[in-house]
Amino acid sequence: METIHTRIWQEEAEPDNPFATRVAYCRGYDVYGEMLGQARWVEMLYLLFREEAPTAAQADLLEALAVALANPGPRDASVHAAMCGGVCGSTAASTLMAALAVGAGQLAGGHEVFLAMEGWAACGTNLDAWRKRLGGLEAIPGSIWPTPEHPPGFDPHGISTATSVKQTLAGLVSYNSGAHLAWLQQNLPALEAAAGYPLAMSGVAAAALADLGFTPEQGEMLHLLLRLPGAAAHALEQHPLGYKKFPFGTVELESESAGGQA
């Protein structure tokens, strides 16, 4: 058997069964013998992605972020997608897959957070660098992702910063767990002016994830994970209500030009 290389997880087998786990270590910590009952969920989450356990402030920040992201609400496209599964009795996994697929995108989704975190990696707390970056959207040639249509982390349909976004930013800043959130709060008017749009929740999440030391790839994954609880709950809630109580709509057909030969 070829081996699986990992720095995250180690297991020792039961003496009578090489496939049964006697002890499992996460980054060297005994998961079932020691962490269980002592470690918080967010500490385990952080530890899985990083080499070392979080500080108390980092764990608090991640937990607060998880609360902020837990439910984008039933108007959100990813939750709507999950409800489309729930309302017709689709499988549980497919409803979450639907939420992940829709919540993966560049409008309020995982890839928007990835791109915004790339911004933090490139610009740090240099306002001029941010102004330059926010001033021009760049498509990546040959990418599977569509060309960005708005600066990542900002709301293309917003007028002013939503109160929920400001409250989240202020709440997360209070943990003093990195430079990005505080700088974002201090420079918000200048950044919003450069972007031409108000800050979005994805922008706050990106700054928080950067403060926690996550890479853009890790941040994208965590954003996808942390928004699933609301999608799951709303999908389950819609199931007994049924499709008749769920928006369906009416299509107004616009003319389609006749198909031609390729």
Partner 1 sequence: MNTRARGPNLLQENVGVLKSRMGTFYPGSHVIFRGYDLHKDLKDMDWVELYVFGITGRRFTREQLRLLHSIWTCTSYPDVRLWNNRVAGLAGSSRSTGTLGLAAALAVSEASIYGQGSAMRAMDFLIRTLRQVDEGGDLEGCIRQELELHRSVSGYGRPLVNADERIEPLLTLAKSLGLDQGPYLRLALAVEEKLLAGRWRMKMNYAALITALGADIGLTTREFYLFMFPLFLGGMPPCFIEASDRPEGTLYRAACSDILYEGQPERPWRRAGLS
Confirm if 31 and 24 have CB atoms less than 8 A apart.
Answer: yes
What's the rounded Cα separation, in Å, for the pair 251 and 98? 23
Q: Which residues pair with 29 in a beta bridge?
A: 26
Binding residue for partner 1, selected from 240, 244, 245, 261, defined by CB under 8 A: 261
Considering the complex, state which of residue 1 and residue 128 has its C-beta at the smaller distance from partner 1: 1
Q: What is the DSSP track for 59-99?
A: HHHHHHHHHHHS---TTSHHHHHHHHHHHTT--HHHHHHHH
Considering the complex, state which of residue 59 and residue 199 has its C-beta at the smaller distance from partner 1: 59
163 binding partner 1? (CB under 8 A): no
Q: How far is CA 196 from the centre of its chain?
A: 23
Confirm if 25 and 10 have CB atoms less than 8 A apart.
Answer: yes
Site for partner 1 in 110-149 (CB under 8 A): 141-144
Considering the complex, state which of residue 141 and residue 240 has its C-beta at the smaller distance from partner 1: 141
Binding residue for partner 1, selected from 32, 41, 51, 170, defined by CB under 8 A: 51
Confirm if 48 and 8 have CB atoms less than 8 A apart.
Answer: yes
Considering the complex, state which of residue 163 and residue 255 has its C-beta at the smaller distance from partner 1: 255
Binding residue for partner 1, selected from 49, 54, 61, 152, defined by CB under 8 A: 54
Binding residue for partner 1, selected from 32, 55, 135, 242, defined by CB under 8 A: 55
- Residue 149: CB atoms within 10 A of its CB come to 9
Binding site for partner 1 (CB under 8 A): 1-13, 18-21, 25, 27-30, 34-35, 38-39, 43, 51, 53-56, 59, 91, 93-94, 97, 101, 141-144, 157-159, 249-262
